Structures are given as structure tokens and as C-alpha cells.
Amino acid sequence: MIDSACTSIGLILFPALTQLDLTGPYEVFVRAPNTKVHLIWKNLDLVVSDRGMAIQPTTTFNACPELDVICVPGGPGQINLMEDEEVLSFIRTQSKQAKLVTSVCTGSLVLGAAGLLKGYKATTHWASLDQLALLGAEAVSERVVRDRNRITGAGVTSGIDFALNVVSEMFGSDIAQNIQLHMEYDPAPPFTCGSPRTASEEQLQKAQEQAAPFIEMRRQATLKAAARLKN
């Protein structure tokens, strides 16, 4: 567990992120005892998610305190982050003293682009899981993956599972379970098709075809990031 007068958790808030990658974990983290959660961006202007939700940063890269936990969400805007040296430098700097270095969904590709997943097991959204190997990580198809002080969550909704695991690590399972109960996090999805393991072949093929053009854009960004890591 983390022993701290006040635990500091920071989530990177960036344009065109998938808001649930951020707001799911946020809802868990802000319920943890004696914890300050920061939403961090370059400035304090409203940041618009990929689906149009505007979210207010609470601090900037320059003003952000040292973090006990740093978390990078995912979403389409992650592509731009992978070559944004200001963002990558901030993540690297904070990761040097952070006790946990974490991500949700394709935020793990940003960690990889920063050189922080080499030799680590990690996960991401199923459609981009194979891209982790390009950045030196060992891809694992699980909802939450822990390897030393790296904790990564899979796609979108896994952010809540991920955050409960982080809280359990920081404060103990009793507190994490209490938060889960207060949130009534008791998933009972109406359909059994929420992952490639449970979807039908037809459903999976359709989803892959729908995502293919964007996934190729993401792959090209990952390849560029991988090439920079080798230089």
C-alpha cells in the first residue's frame, strides 16, 4: 500500500480522448480516502472528447505536483500524443517518481511511445492489442494487467475494473470493495458480445471492418513511435 499524507493521482486530459477512459477511473479515484485527483493538460481551456463532451482540466503540466499515480487514458487523440514531445516528456518525468504508472485503453500505446513499456506486460483495446509489441511490450489479452509498477486496462469500460485494482493496491481491498458497492458496480450486460472472446464471428468481423481505416492510422503512428525509440 501507498503510505502518504495525501495521495496524488493524475489523469492526462487531452483533445479527442474517449471520455469514459478518464471518467470511469476518475469516479473511482475521487472516492478513495485522502486523495487528490488532477486532470492535467497543457492549459486550463476546456478539452473536448472524441464524442463532444467538454471537460475542464484542473492543472497544467507546469503546475502539476509530483504524482503517486499517473494514468493515461486512450481515444483517437492518442495518435497525436504519440509524437507530442511535451506530453511524452511530462509522462516520463512524472513516471520517475510515481509509484504506479498506468493507462486505460490505448493510453498504453502512449506509455509505450514514451519508452515506458519496454519489457513489460501490458494490455489495451482488443483492436490495437498487437501494436504493443511494436513498442517493446508483451501484449496480454486481459481486462487488467499488472507488471511490477505498471498497471494497464483494456478498452473503455475496463477503466472501472482497472481503477478498483489500483485502489486495492494503494489502500487495500476493503476500501476498493466499499467503493465498488457505493458505485453499485455490478455489471450485467444485456448481451454477451463485449469482447472478441464472446462476440460471434459475424459481429467481430463487422466491428473489425468498421474500425480498419482508423486502426491503420493508429498503426502508422505506432510504427513511427517505435522507430523513434530505436534512435
Q: In what order do the strands lie in the sheet with 7-12?
A: 59-60, 35-41, 7-12, 69-72, 100-104, 150-153, 144-147
DSSP symbol at 200: -
The helix-helix angle for 158-171 and 19-29 (nearest 10°) equals 30
Q: Which candidate in 6, 64, 71, 105 is catalytic? A: 105
Question: CA 128 to CA 109: how far, in whole Å?
Answer: 9
Active site residue 105: yes
Please give the sequence-ordered ranges of beta strands (E in DSSP) within 107-165, or none if there are none: 121-122, 138-139, 144-147, 150-153
Max alpha carbon distance in the chain (Å)?
52
Q: Which residues are catalytically annotated? A: 105
